[in-house]
Structure 1
Protein backbone atom coordinates (compact mmCIF):
# COMPACT_ATOMS: atom_id res chain seq x y z
CA UNK A 1 0.00 0.00 0.00
CA UNK A 2 1.49 3.33 -1.08
CA UNK A 3 -1.01 5.53 0.76
CA UNK A 4 -0.24 6.28 4.43
CA UNK A 5 -2.47 3.74 6.16
CA UNK A 6 -2.76 3.32 9.92
CA UNK A 7 -4.65 0.48 11.59
CA UNK A 8 -6.43 0.87 14.90
CA UNK A 9 -5.23 -1.51 17.65
CA UNK A 10 -8.37 -3.67 17.49
CA UNK A 11 -8.07 -4.02 13.72
CA UNK A 12 -4.37 -4.89 13.93
CA UNK A 13 -5.25 -7.64 16.39
CA UNK A 14 -8.08 -8.89 14.16
CA UNK A 15 -5.79 -9.01 11.12
CA UNK A 16 -3.12 -10.90 13.05
CA UNK A 17 -5.62 -13.51 14.27
CA UNK A 18 -7.54 -13.69 10.95
CA UNK A 19 -10.83 -12.55 12.42
CA UNK A 20 -13.60 -11.34 10.10
CA UNK A 21 -13.69 -7.55 9.73
CA UNK A 22 -16.43 -5.18 8.51
CA UNK A 23 -15.51 -1.72 7.21
CA UNK A 24 -17.78 1.22 8.08
CA UNK A 25 -17.88 4.73 6.59
CA UNK A 26 -17.72 8.05 8.43
CA UNK A 27 -19.85 10.32 6.21
CA UNK A 28 -22.93 9.05 8.03
CA UNK A 29 -21.31 10.19 11.30
CA UNK A 30 -20.25 13.61 10.08
CA UNK A 31 -23.14 14.48 7.76
CA UNK A 32 -25.79 11.76 7.67
CA UNK A 33 -27.49 12.10 11.07
CA UNK A 34 -28.18 14.95 13.51
CA UNK A 35 -26.28 15.27 16.79
CA UNK A 36 -26.10 13.46 19.14
CA UNK A 37 -27.61 10.54 17.22
CA UNK A 38 -24.68 10.54 14.78
CA UNK A 39 -22.11 9.39 17.35
CA UNK A 40 -24.57 7.08 19.11
CA UNK A 41 -25.43 5.28 15.88
CA UNK A 42 -21.77 4.98 14.88
CA UNK A 43 -20.96 3.30 18.19
CA UNK A 44 -24.09 1.13 17.97
CA UNK A 45 -23.10 -0.03 14.48
CA UNK A 46 -19.70 -1.07 15.78
CA UNK A 47 -21.36 -2.94 18.65
CA UNK A 48 -23.78 -4.63 16.22
CA UNK A 49 -20.81 -5.93 14.24
CA UNK A 50 -19.13 -7.25 17.38
CA UNK A 51 -22.35 -8.91 18.56
CA UNK A 52 -22.36 -10.97 15.36
CA UNK A 53 -18.79 -12.16 15.83
CA UNK A 54 -16.86 -9.75 13.61
CA UNK A 55 -14.60 -6.75 14.20
CA UNK A 56 -15.67 -3.23 13.12
CA UNK A 57 -13.21 -1.03 11.23
CA UNK A 58 -14.63 2.48 10.91
CA UNK A 59 -12.56 4.37 8.34
CA UNK A 60 -11.64 8.04 8.20
CA UNK A 61 -8.82 10.42 7.27
CA UNK A 62 -6.85 11.99 10.13
CA UNK A 63 -3.56 13.89 10.21
CA UNK A 64 -2.43 12.75 6.77
CA UNK A 65 -3.35 9.11 7.28
CA UNK A 66 -6.12 6.74 6.20
CA UNK A 67 -7.16 5.27 9.54
CA UNK A 68 -8.64 1.78 9.37
CA UNK A 69 -10.39 1.34 12.70
CA UNK A 70 -10.98 4.63 14.48
CA UNK A 71 -10.87 4.64 18.29
CA UNK A 72 -13.92 5.97 20.19
CA UNK A 73 -12.12 9.28 20.83
CA UNK A 74 -11.25 9.62 17.15
CA UNK A 75 -14.78 8.76 16.14
CA UNK A 76 -16.06 11.52 18.42
CA UNK A 77 -14.00 14.02 16.42
CA UNK A 78 -15.87 13.06 13.26
CA UNK A 79 -19.18 13.56 15.05
CA UNK A 80 -18.33 16.99 16.50
CA UNK A 81 -15.48 18.69 14.60
CA UNK A 82 -16.73 21.49 12.33
CA UNK A 83 -13.64 21.08 10.13
CA UNK A 84 -14.62 17.63 8.86
CA UNK A 85 -14.91 17.45 5.07
CA UNK A 86 -16.66 14.88 2.92
CA UNK A 87 -14.14 12.65 1.13
CA UNK A 88 -14.81 10.66 -2.02
CA UNK A 89 -12.13 9.12 -4.24
CA UNK A 90 -11.10 12.41 -5.89
CA UNK A 91 -10.66 14.11 -2.51
CA UNK A 92 -8.28 11.56 -0.97
CA UNK A 93 -4.98 13.11 -2.12
CA UNK A 94 -6.11 16.64 -1.28
CA UNK A 95 -7.21 15.91 2.28
CA UNK A 96 -4.28 13.59 2.97
CA UNK A 97 -1.70 16.09 1.68
CA UNK A 98 -3.26 18.87 3.74
CA UNK A 99 -3.49 16.62 6.82
CA UNK A 100 -7.17 17.40 7.20
CA UNK A 101 -9.98 15.44 8.82
CA UNK A 102 -12.03 13.65 6.19
CA UNK A 103 -15.18 11.57 6.48
CA UNK A 104 -15.21 8.78 3.91
CA UNK A 105 -18.10 8.17 1.52
CA UNK A 106 -19.01 4.67 0.36
CA UNK A 107 -16.57 5.11 -2.54
CA UNK A 108 -13.62 6.12 -0.36
CA UNK A 109 -14.48 3.45 2.22
CA UNK A 110 -14.65 0.71 -0.43
CA UNK A 111 -11.35 1.90 -1.91
CA UNK A 112 -9.64 1.83 1.50
CA UNK A 113 -11.22 -1.50 2.51
CA UNK A 114 -9.99 -3.16 -0.69
CA UNK A 115 -6.43 -2.03 -0.03
CA UNK A 116 -6.63 -3.18 3.58
CA UNK A 117 -7.87 -6.63 2.52
CA UNK A 118 -11.34 -6.14 4.05
CA UNK A 119 -13.95 -7.68 1.71
CA UNK A 120 -17.15 -6.41 3.40
CA UNK A 121 -18.50 -2.88 3.90
CA UNK A 122 -21.74 -1.92 5.65
CA UNK A 123 -23.59 1.32 4.95
CA UNK A 124 -27.08 2.79 4.72
CA UNK A 125 -27.62 3.63 1.06
CA UNK A 126 -25.19 3.91 -1.82
CA UNK A 127 -24.96 6.84 -4.21
CA UNK A 128 -26.16 6.51 -7.76
CA UNK A 129 -27.48 8.33 -10.82
CA UNK A 130 -29.07 11.67 -10.00
CA UNK A 131 -32.61 12.53 -11.08
CA UNK A 132 -32.83 14.59 -14.23
CA UNK A 133 -29.05 14.46 -14.67
CA UNK A 134 -27.94 11.04 -15.99
CA UNK A 135 -24.42 12.42 -16.45
CA UNK A 136 -24.24 13.03 -12.67
CA UNK A 137 -23.16 9.66 -11.33
CA UNK A 138 -21.89 9.14 -7.78
CA UNK A 139 -18.33 7.82 -7.59
CA UNK A 140 -19.76 5.02 -5.43
CA UNK A 141 -20.78 3.24 -8.64
CA UNK A 142 -17.50 3.24 -10.62
CA UNK A 143 -15.63 2.38 -7.43
CA UNK A 144 -17.87 -0.66 -6.96
CA UNK A 145 -17.11 -1.61 -10.56
CA UNK A 146 -13.37 -1.46 -9.82
CA UNK A 147 -12.93 -3.01 -6.34
CA UNK A 148 -13.65 -6.61 -5.17
CA UNK A 149 -15.75 -5.65 -2.15
CA UNK A 150 -19.23 -6.72 -1.01
CA UNK A 151 -21.36 -3.80 0.18
CA UNK A 152 -24.37 -4.37 2.42
CA UNK A 153 -26.86 -1.52 1.97
CA UNK A 154 -30.57 -0.74 1.67
CA UNK A 155 -30.33 0.10 -2.01
CA UNK A 156 -29.50 3.53 -3.38
CA UNK A 157 -30.64 6.67 -1.57
CA UNK A 158 -34.31 7.37 -2.33
CA UNK A 159 -33.52 10.85 -3.66
CA UNK A 160 -31.77 9.29 -6.69
CA UNK A 161 -33.01 7.87 -9.99
CA UNK A 162 -33.34 4.28 -8.82
CA UNK A 163 -34.15 2.79 -12.23
CA UNK A 164 -31.15 4.47 -13.88
CA UNK A 165 -28.93 3.41 -10.97
CA UNK A 166 -30.16 -0.17 -11.33
CA UNK A 167 -29.35 -0.11 -15.05
CA UNK A 168 -25.86 1.32 -14.38
CA UNK A 169 -25.09 -1.51 -11.95
CA UNK A 170 -26.27 -4.09 -14.49
CA UNK A 171 -24.22 -2.56 -17.31
CA UNK A 172 -21.07 -2.68 -15.20
CA UNK A 173 -21.50 -6.24 -13.99
CA UNK A 174 -22.29 -5.55 -10.33
CA UNK A 175 -24.69 -8.26 -9.03
CA UNK A 176 -27.47 -7.19 -6.68
CA UNK A 177 -28.54 -9.79 -4.13
CA UNK A 178 -31.79 -9.21 -2.25
CA UNK A 179 -31.61 -10.20 1.42
CA UNK A 180 -34.80 -12.25 1.72
CA UNK A 181 -36.48 -10.21 -1.04
CA UNK A 182 -36.93 -10.30 -4.82
CA UNK A 183 -37.09 -6.52 -5.35
CA UNK A 184 -34.59 -3.77 -4.68
CA UNK A 185 -35.29 -1.81 -1.49
CA UNK A 186 -35.70 1.95 -1.83
CA UNK A 187 -33.83 2.97 1.34
CA UNK A 188 -36.71 4.27 3.49
CA UNK A 189 -39.18 1.97 1.69
CA UNK A 190 -39.23 -1.82 1.52
CA UNK A 191 -39.42 -2.06 -2.26
CA UNK A 192 -38.72 0.06 -5.33
CA UNK A 193 -40.48 -2.48 -7.53
CA UNK A 194 -37.21 -3.08 -9.42
CA UNK A 195 -35.91 -6.66 -9.50
CA UNK A 196 -32.73 -7.86 -7.83
CA UNK A 197 -30.50 -10.37 -9.61
CA UNK A 198 -31.01 -13.09 -7.02
CA UNK A 199 -32.59 -13.54 -3.63
CA UNK A 200 -30.40 -14.84 -0.79
CA UNK A 201 -31.69 -16.10 2.52
CA UNK A 202 -28.46 -16.66 4.45
CA UNK A 203 -25.00 -15.24 4.93
CA UNK A 204 -23.53 -18.49 3.64
CA UNK A 205 -25.45 -18.19 0.37
CA UNK A 206 -24.35 -14.58 -0.11
CA UNK A 207 -20.73 -15.51 0.67
CA UNK A 208 -20.77 -18.40 -1.83
CA UNK A 209 -22.01 -16.12 -4.61
CA UNK A 210 -19.45 -13.46 -3.71
CA UNK A 211 -16.58 -15.97 -3.75
CA UNK A 212 -17.66 -17.25 -7.15
CA UNK A 213 -18.06 -13.70 -8.48
CA UNK A 214 -14.52 -12.81 -7.42
CA UNK A 215 -13.10 -16.10 -8.72
CA UNK A 216 -14.54 -15.21 -12.12
CA UNK A 217 -12.79 -11.84 -12.05
CA UNK A 218 -15.78 -9.80 -10.87
CA UNK A 219 -15.43 -6.79 -8.62
CA UNK A 220 -18.11 -5.14 -6.47
CA UNK A 221 -21.25 -6.91 -5.33
CA UNK A 222 -24.28 -5.55 -3.44
CA UNK A 223 -26.43 -7.20 -0.80
CA UNK A 224 -29.60 -5.12 -0.55
CA UNK A 225 -31.45 -5.29 2.77
CA UNK A 226 -34.93 -3.77 3.17
CA UNK A 227 -35.53 -1.51 6.19
CA UNK A 228 -37.29 -3.16 9.15
CA UNK A 229 -40.93 -3.76 8.16
CA UNK A 230 -42.26 -2.03 11.28
CA UNK A 231 -40.53 1.23 10.34
CA UNK A 232 -40.49 1.21 6.52
CA UNK A 233 -42.25 4.19 4.93
CA UNK A 234 -44.58 4.00 1.89
CA UNK A 235 -43.05 5.32 -1.33
CA UNK A 236 -45.93 7.50 -2.58
CA UNK A 237 -45.99 10.19 0.18
CA UNK A 238 -42.19 10.14 0.28
CA UNK A 239 -42.08 10.87 -3.43
CA UNK A 240 -44.36 13.89 -2.95
CA UNK A 241 -42.10 15.21 -0.18
CA UNK A 242 -39.04 14.63 -2.34
CA UNK A 243 -40.46 16.42 -5.36
CA UNK A 244 -41.28 19.43 -3.19
CA UNK A 245 -37.77 19.39 -1.71
CA UNK A 246 -36.21 19.16 -5.17
CA UNK A 247 -38.14 22.24 -6.29
CA UNK A 248 -37.01 24.10 -3.17
CA UNK A 249 -33.40 23.08 -3.77
CA UNK A 250 -33.58 24.41 -7.32
CA UNK A 251 -35.12 27.70 -6.16
CA UNK A 252 -32.41 28.12 -3.52
CA UNK A 253 -29.70 27.11 -6.02
CA UNK A 254 -28.44 24.30 -3.82
CA UNK A 255 -25.82 22.53 -5.93
CA UNK A 256 -23.12 19.85 -5.91
CA UNK A 257 -22.50 17.76 -2.83
CA UNK A 258 -24.80 20.04 -0.78
CA UNK A 259 -27.90 18.69 -2.56
CA UNK A 260 -28.00 15.32 -0.81
CA UNK A 261 -27.79 16.59 2.81
CA UNK A 262 -30.31 19.33 1.94
CA UNK A 263 -32.82 16.81 0.62
CA UNK A 264 -32.27 14.40 3.51
CA UNK A 265 -32.84 17.24 6.00
CA UNK A 266 -36.09 18.17 4.28
CA UNK A 267 -37.21 14.54 4.33
CA UNK A 268 -36.53 14.40 8.08
CA UNK A 269 -38.49 17.61 8.72
CA UNK A 270 -41.49 16.63 6.63
CA UNK A 271 -41.77 13.10 7.98
CA UNK A 272 -41.55 14.42 11.58
CA UNK A 273 -38.33 12.51 12.11
CA UNK A 274 -39.61 9.16 10.84
CA UNK A 275 -37.05 9.05 8.04
CA UNK A 276 -34.25 9.46 10.62
CA UNK A 277 -35.66 6.55 12.65
CA UNK A 278 -35.72 4.35 9.53
CA UNK A 279 -32.19 5.41 8.63
CA UNK A 280 -30.92 4.54 12.10
CA UNK A 281 -32.64 1.15 12.14
CA UNK A 282 -31.44 0.09 8.70
CA UNK A 283 -27.85 1.13 9.48
CA UNK A 284 -27.82 -1.19 12.50
CA UNK A 285 -29.47 -4.06 10.62
CA UNK A 286 -27.04 -3.72 7.71
CA UNK A 287 -24.10 -3.80 10.13
CA UNK A 288 -25.41 -7.04 11.65
CA UNK A 289 -25.90 -8.72 8.28
CA UNK A 290 -22.51 -7.53 7.02
CA UNK A 291 -20.88 -9.14 10.06
CA UNK A 292 -22.63 -12.44 9.37
CA UNK A 293 -21.46 -12.39 5.77
CA UNK A 294 -17.91 -11.47 6.82
CA UNK A 295 -17.92 -14.47 9.15
CA UNK A 296 -19.19 -16.74 6.37
CA UNK A 297 -16.47 -15.47 4.01
CA UNK A 298 -13.80 -16.12 6.66
CA UNK A 299 -14.83 -19.75 7.18
Structure 2
Protein backbone atom coordinates (compact mmCIF):
# COMPACT_ATOMS: atom_id res chain seq x y z
CA UNK A 1 0.00 0.00 0.00
CA UNK A 2 1.42 3.42 -0.99
CA UNK A 3 1.99 6.06 1.67
CA UNK A 4 2.07 9.84 1.24
CA UNK A 5 5.08 11.91 2.24
CA UNK A 6 3.61 12.73 5.67
CA UNK A 7 4.29 9.11 6.65
CA UNK A 8 8.02 9.83 6.42
CA UNK A 9 8.02 13.39 7.74
CA UNK A 10 8.60 14.56 11.34
CA UNK A 11 7.95 18.26 11.97
CA UNK A 12 9.25 19.52 15.32
CA UNK A 13 6.49 20.65 17.67
CA UNK A 14 7.69 24.26 17.82
CA UNK A 15 7.87 24.46 14.01
CA UNK A 16 4.45 22.84 13.53
CA UNK A 17 2.86 25.24 16.02
CA UNK A 18 4.46 28.25 14.31
CA UNK A 19 3.24 27.13 10.88
CA UNK A 20 -0.26 26.42 12.17
CA UNK A 21 -0.52 29.87 13.77
CA UNK A 22 0.97 31.80 10.84
CA UNK A 23 4.24 32.71 12.56
CA UNK A 24 7.44 33.20 10.52
CA UNK A 25 9.61 30.10 10.05
CA UNK A 26 13.03 29.88 8.36
CA UNK A 27 14.44 26.60 7.06
CA UNK A 28 18.16 25.84 7.56
CA UNK A 29 20.28 23.16 5.92
CA UNK A 30 22.38 20.50 7.65
CA UNK A 31 25.24 19.97 5.17
CA UNK A 32 26.99 22.91 6.83
CA UNK A 33 26.99 20.82 10.05
CA UNK A 34 28.37 17.60 8.58
CA UNK A 35 30.47 18.85 5.65
CA UNK A 36 30.96 22.58 6.20
CA UNK A 37 33.46 22.72 9.06
CA UNK A 38 35.11 20.60 11.79
CA UNK A 39 33.56 19.58 15.14
CA UNK A 40 32.74 21.31 17.47
CA UNK A 41 32.78 24.52 15.39
CA UNK A 42 30.10 23.06 13.11
CA UNK A 43 27.70 22.52 16.02
CA UNK A 44 28.46 25.92 17.57
CA UNK A 45 27.78 27.61 14.22
CA UNK A 46 24.51 25.71 13.65
CA UNK A 47 23.23 26.73 17.09
CA UNK A 48 24.37 30.32 16.54
CA UNK A 49 22.47 30.45 13.22
CA UNK A 50 19.32 29.24 15.00
CA UNK A 51 19.86 31.93 17.66
CA UNK A 52 20.11 34.64 15.01
CA UNK A 53 16.85 33.46 13.42
CA UNK A 54 15.09 33.71 16.79
CA UNK A 55 16.69 37.08 17.51
CA UNK A 56 15.15 38.40 14.29
CA UNK A 57 11.65 37.21 15.14
CA UNK A 58 11.35 33.85 13.36
CA UNK A 59 11.38 30.16 14.32
CA UNK A 60 14.37 28.13 13.00
CA UNK A 61 13.80 24.75 11.34
CA UNK A 62 17.09 22.96 10.75
CA UNK A 63 16.40 20.15 8.29
CA UNK A 64 18.06 16.71 8.07
CA UNK A 65 17.39 13.01 7.59
CA UNK A 66 18.01 10.94 10.71
CA UNK A 67 17.69 7.17 10.65
CA UNK A 68 15.50 7.39 7.58
CA UNK A 69 13.10 10.01 8.98
CA UNK A 70 12.68 13.36 7.22
CA UNK A 71 13.23 15.90 10.00
CA UNK A 72 12.02 19.50 9.78
CA UNK A 73 13.37 21.03 12.96
CA UNK A 74 15.96 19.03 14.89
CA UNK A 75 17.07 19.19 18.53
CA UNK A 76 20.43 20.34 19.94
CA UNK A 77 21.22 16.68 20.58
CA UNK A 78 20.51 15.81 16.94
CA UNK A 79 22.65 18.72 15.73
CA UNK A 80 25.48 17.46 17.95
CA UNK A 81 24.97 13.92 16.61
CA UNK A 82 25.36 15.12 13.00
CA UNK A 83 28.31 17.31 13.96
CA UNK A 84 30.22 14.47 15.61
CA UNK A 85 29.46 12.04 12.77
CA UNK A 86 30.68 14.64 10.28
CA UNK A 87 31.73 13.41 6.85
CA UNK A 88 30.31 9.95 7.62
CA UNK A 89 26.84 11.48 7.15
CA UNK A 90 25.71 11.18 3.54
CA UNK A 91 25.53 14.49 1.68
CA UNK A 92 21.96 14.25 0.46
CA UNK A 93 20.49 15.61 -2.74
CA UNK A 94 17.09 14.81 -4.31
CA UNK A 95 18.18 11.43 -5.74
CA UNK A 96 19.43 10.17 -2.36
CA UNK A 97 16.26 10.75 -0.33
CA UNK A 98 14.32 7.53 -1.11
CA UNK A 99 17.44 5.41 -0.62
CA UNK A 100 18.15 6.85 2.83
CA UNK A 101 14.52 6.40 3.87
CA UNK A 102 14.49 2.76 2.79
CA UNK A 103 17.86 2.03 4.43
CA UNK A 104 17.01 4.10 7.54
CA UNK A 105 20.26 6.04 7.27
CA UNK A 106 21.35 9.59 8.11
CA UNK A 107 21.55 12.39 5.58
CA UNK A 108 22.74 15.99 5.64
CA UNK A 109 20.54 18.05 3.35
CA UNK A 110 21.97 20.16 0.55
CA UNK A 111 20.20 23.28 -0.75
CA UNK A 112 18.08 21.14 -3.09
CA UNK A 113 16.94 18.67 -0.43
CA UNK A 114 16.36 21.35 2.18
CA UNK A 115 14.07 23.10 -0.30
CA UNK A 116 12.14 19.87 -0.93
CA UNK A 117 11.59 19.11 2.76
CA UNK A 118 10.80 22.75 3.55
CA UNK A 119 8.12 22.75 0.85
CA UNK A 120 6.66 19.50 2.20
CA UNK A 121 6.29 21.14 5.61
CA UNK A 122 4.89 24.39 4.20
CA UNK A 123 7.97 26.57 4.88
CA UNK A 124 8.54 29.23 2.22
CA UNK A 125 11.92 30.74 3.20
CA UNK A 126 15.32 29.09 3.53
CA UNK A 127 18.66 30.64 4.56
CA UNK A 128 21.96 29.10 3.53
CA UNK A 129 25.56 30.13 2.82
CA UNK A 130 25.83 29.86 -0.94
CA UNK A 131 24.05 27.81 -3.58
CA UNK A 132 25.62 25.25 -5.88
CA UNK A 133 25.73 26.07 -9.57
CA UNK A 134 27.41 25.37 -12.87
CA UNK A 135 30.93 24.10 -12.19
CA UNK A 136 33.93 25.34 -14.10
CA UNK A 137 34.38 23.22 -17.21
CA UNK A 138 30.75 22.08 -17.14
CA UNK A 139 30.57 22.44 -20.92
CA UNK A 140 32.53 19.17 -21.06
CA UNK A 141 31.81 17.54 -17.67
CA UNK A 142 28.08 18.45 -17.42
CA UNK A 143 28.71 19.09 -13.70
CA UNK A 144 25.73 21.25 -12.76
CA UNK A 145 24.37 21.36 -9.21
CA UNK A 146 20.89 19.96 -8.54
CA UNK A 147 20.31 23.17 -6.53
CA UNK A 148 19.60 25.04 -9.76
CA UNK A 149 17.01 22.55 -10.99
CA UNK A 150 15.33 22.61 -7.58
CA UNK A 151 15.09 26.40 -7.72
CA UNK A 152 13.29 25.96 -11.04
CA UNK A 153 10.74 23.53 -9.56
CA UNK A 154 10.20 24.08 -5.83
CA UNK A 155 8.36 27.16 -4.44
CA UNK A 156 10.85 28.17 -1.75
CA UNK A 157 12.81 31.43 -1.49
CA UNK A 158 16.51 30.86 -0.94
CA UNK A 159 18.53 33.59 0.79
CA UNK A 160 22.26 33.19 0.19
CA UNK A 161 25.52 35.08 -0.35
CA UNK A 162 25.41 34.29 -4.05
CA UNK A 163 26.82 31.24 -5.76
CA UNK A 164 30.06 29.87 -4.35
CA UNK A 165 32.96 31.54 -6.09
CA UNK A 166 34.48 28.14 -6.92
CA UNK A 167 31.81 27.96 -9.67
CA UNK A 168 31.32 29.47 -13.10
CA UNK A 169 29.16 32.41 -11.99
CA UNK A 170 28.26 33.63 -15.46
CA UNK A 171 26.94 30.24 -16.59
CA UNK A 172 25.13 29.81 -13.26
CA UNK A 173 23.18 33.03 -13.88
CA UNK A 174 22.46 31.97 -17.47
CA UNK A 175 21.09 28.64 -16.27
CA UNK A 176 18.81 30.33 -13.71
CA UNK A 177 17.56 32.74 -16.37
CA UNK A 178 16.72 29.85 -18.70
CA UNK A 179 14.77 28.17 -15.90
CA UNK A 180 12.85 31.36 -15.10
CA UNK A 181 14.21 31.80 -11.58
CA UNK A 182 14.19 35.46 -10.41
CA UNK A 183 17.57 36.46 -8.95
CA UNK A 184 17.45 39.48 -6.61
CA UNK A 185 20.34 41.38 -5.08
CA UNK A 186 19.71 42.74 -1.60
CA UNK A 187 20.71 46.41 -1.78
CA UNK A 188 22.94 45.63 -4.77
CA UNK A 189 22.70 44.95 -8.52
CA UNK A 190 25.93 42.93 -8.52
CA UNK A 191 25.96 39.21 -7.80
CA UNK A 192 27.94 38.62 -4.59
CA UNK A 193 30.46 35.79 -4.84
CA UNK A 194 30.24 34.15 -1.41
CA UNK A 195 33.50 35.33 0.22
CA UNK A 196 33.44 38.65 -1.65
CA UNK A 197 30.81 41.30 -2.34
CA UNK A 198 31.65 41.60 -6.03
CA UNK A 199 31.81 39.24 -8.98
CA UNK A 200 31.54 41.36 -12.11
CA UNK A 201 28.11 39.88 -12.91
CA UNK A 202 24.71 41.55 -12.58
CA UNK A 203 21.61 40.03 -10.99
CA UNK A 204 18.12 40.50 -12.48
CA UNK A 205 16.78 42.99 -9.94
CA UNK A 206 17.80 45.01 -6.91
CA UNK A 207 15.58 44.99 -3.81
CA UNK A 208 16.32 47.40 -0.97
CA UNK A 209 14.15 46.16 1.90
CA UNK A 210 12.90 42.85 3.34
CA UNK A 211 9.36 44.18 2.76
CA UNK A 212 10.04 44.62 -0.97
CA UNK A 213 11.44 41.09 -1.26
CA UNK A 214 8.44 39.67 0.62
CA UNK A 215 6.06 41.49 -1.76
CA UNK A 216 7.83 40.10 -4.85
CA UNK A 217 7.73 36.51 -3.60
CA UNK A 218 4.12 36.85 -2.44
CA UNK A 219 3.15 38.02 -5.95
CA UNK A 220 5.02 35.07 -7.45
CA UNK A 221 3.13 32.62 -5.23
CA UNK A 222 -0.22 34.33 -5.83
CA UNK A 223 0.32 33.94 -9.57
CA UNK A 224 1.20 30.25 -9.05
CA UNK A 225 4.39 30.66 -11.08
CA UNK A 226 6.46 27.51 -10.85
CA UNK A 227 9.69 27.37 -8.85
CA UNK A 228 11.43 29.43 -6.22
CA UNK A 229 13.36 32.67 -6.00
CA UNK A 230 16.98 33.46 -5.23
CA UNK A 231 17.89 36.38 -2.95
CA UNK A 232 21.60 37.18 -2.95
CA UNK A 233 22.85 38.99 0.13
CA UNK A 234 26.46 40.29 0.11
CA UNK A 235 28.74 39.28 2.97
CA UNK A 236 29.14 42.19 5.46
CA UNK A 237 31.99 44.53 4.42
CA UNK A 238 34.02 43.84 7.56
CA UNK A 239 34.13 40.09 6.85
CA UNK A 240 34.57 40.21 3.06
CA UNK A 241 37.81 38.83 1.65
CA UNK A 242 40.03 40.51 -0.92
CA UNK A 243 38.78 39.53 -4.39
CA UNK A 244 42.24 38.89 -5.87
CA UNK A 245 43.43 36.88 -2.85
CA UNK A 246 40.41 34.59 -2.76
CA UNK A 247 40.47 34.14 -6.57
CA UNK A 248 44.08 32.92 -6.40
CA UNK A 249 43.21 30.59 -3.51
CA UNK A 250 40.28 29.14 -5.45
CA UNK A 251 42.36 28.56 -8.56
CA UNK A 252 45.01 26.76 -6.49
CA UNK A 253 42.35 24.56 -4.84
CA UNK A 254 40.70 23.78 -8.21
CA UNK A 255 44.05 22.68 -9.66
CA UNK A 256 44.65 20.37 -6.67
CA UNK A 257 41.18 18.84 -7.07
CA UNK A 258 41.79 18.20 -10.77
CA UNK A 259 45.12 16.49 -10.05
CA UNK A 260 43.44 14.23 -7.48
CA UNK A 261 40.51 13.46 -9.80
CA UNK A 262 37.91 14.74 -7.33
CA UNK A 263 34.49 15.05 -8.99
CA UNK A 264 30.75 15.26 -8.33
CA UNK A 265 29.34 15.97 -4.91
CA UNK A 266 32.77 15.59 -3.25
CA UNK A 267 34.06 18.64 -5.14
CA UNK A 268 32.56 21.46 -3.08
CA UNK A 269 33.48 20.13 0.42
CA UNK A 270 37.02 19.42 -0.83
CA UNK A 271 37.47 22.87 -2.36
CA UNK A 272 36.06 24.72 0.65
CA UNK A 273 38.42 22.81 2.95
CA UNK A 274 41.42 23.46 0.71
CA UNK A 275 40.57 27.17 0.50
CA UNK A 276 40.36 27.27 4.30
CA UNK A 277 43.86 25.75 4.53
CA UNK A 278 45.29 28.08 1.89
CA UNK A 279 43.79 31.19 3.54
CA UNK A 280 44.87 29.99 7.02
CA UNK A 281 41.31 29.88 8.33
CA UNK A 282 40.21 33.30 7.07
CA UNK A 283 37.73 31.82 4.58
CA UNK A 284 36.05 29.81 7.34
CA UNK A 285 35.54 32.95 9.44
CA UNK A 286 33.96 34.65 6.43
CA UNK A 287 31.80 31.59 5.75
CA UNK A 288 30.35 31.65 9.27
CA UNK A 289 29.61 35.38 9.17
CA UNK A 290 27.85 35.29 5.81
CA UNK A 291 25.59 32.44 6.98
CA UNK A 292 24.62 34.44 10.07
CA UNK A 293 23.97 37.49 7.87
CA UNK A 294 21.71 35.46 5.56
CA UNK A 295 19.81 33.96 8.50
CA UNK A 296 19.04 37.46 9.79
CA UNK A 297 17.78 38.71 6.41
CA UNK A 298 15.70 35.57 5.78
CA UNK A 299 14.07 35.99 9.19
CA UNK A 300 13.23 39.63 8.49
CA UNK A 301 11.67 38.67 5.14
CA UNK A 302 9.70 35.85 6.82
CA UNK A 303 8.32 38.34 9.35
CA UNK A 304 7.27 40.70 6.55
CA UNK A 305 5.52 37.88 4.70
CA UNK A 306 3.55 36.99 7.82
CA UNK A 307 2.41 40.61 8.15
Matched, 1:86 2:94: no
Structure 1 residue ranges, 4+ long, deviating more than 3 angstroms after superposition: none
Asked if structure 2 preserves the Cα contact closer than 8 Å seen for 1:213 and 1:219, the reply is no
Q: Distance in 1 between matches of 2:173 and 2:101?
A: 33
Give SS of 2:302's match: helix
Say whether 1:230 aligns with 2:235. Answer: no
- Are 1:133 and 2:133 an aligned pair? no
1:116 aligns with 2:121: yes
Q: Where do 1:177-216 residues align within 5 Å?
A: 177-216=184-223
SS in 2 for 1:230: helix
**Match 1:292 to one of 283, 300, 303:** 300
Q: Give structure 1 stretches of 5+ with no counterpart.
A: none
State the distance in 1 between where 2:184 and 2:226 align: 14
Is 1:219 the counterpart of 2:223? The answer is no
Is 1:15 matched with 2:24? no
Q: Deviations along 1:212-252, whole A, 9 cap, x unmatched?
A: 12223142101100011011112222222222211111212
SS class of match (1:295): helix
| 2:101 alignment counterpart | 96
2:73 aligns to what?
69
Once residues 6 and 112 of structure 1 are traced to their aligned partners in structure 2, the CA distance between those partners, rounded to angstroms, is: 10
Give the equivalent residue in structure 2 for 1:2: 5
Secondary structure at 2:181 match in 1: coil
CA distance in 1 between counterparts of 2:185 and 2:263 reads 33
2:151 alignment partner in structure 1: 144
* Deviation by residue 1:150-187 (Cα, 9 ceiling, x = unmatched): 00000111111000001111111111111111100000
For the 8 Å contact 1:203–1:289, the answer to whether it is kept is: yes
Q: How many residues of Structure 1 are paired with residues of Structure 2 in the alignment?
A: 299
* Higher mean C-alpha displacement, 207-216 vs 145-154: 207-216
DSSP-derived class of the 1:223 partner: strand
Q: SS of the counterpart of 2:104?
A: coil
Distance across 2 between alignment mates of 1:288 and 1:246? 31
Instruction: Tell me the distance in 2 between the aligned counterparts of 1:88 and 1:162.
Output: 21
CA RMSD of aligned residues (A): 1.1
SS in 2 for 1:32: coil
Show the counterpart of 1:161: 168
In structure 1, how many angstroms separate the alpha carbons of the residues matched to 2:159 and 2:235? 12
Instruction: Give, in angstroms, the shift of residue 15 of structure 1.
Output: 2.1
Q: Using the alignment, how far apart are the partners of 1:176 and 1:68 within structure 2?
A: 26
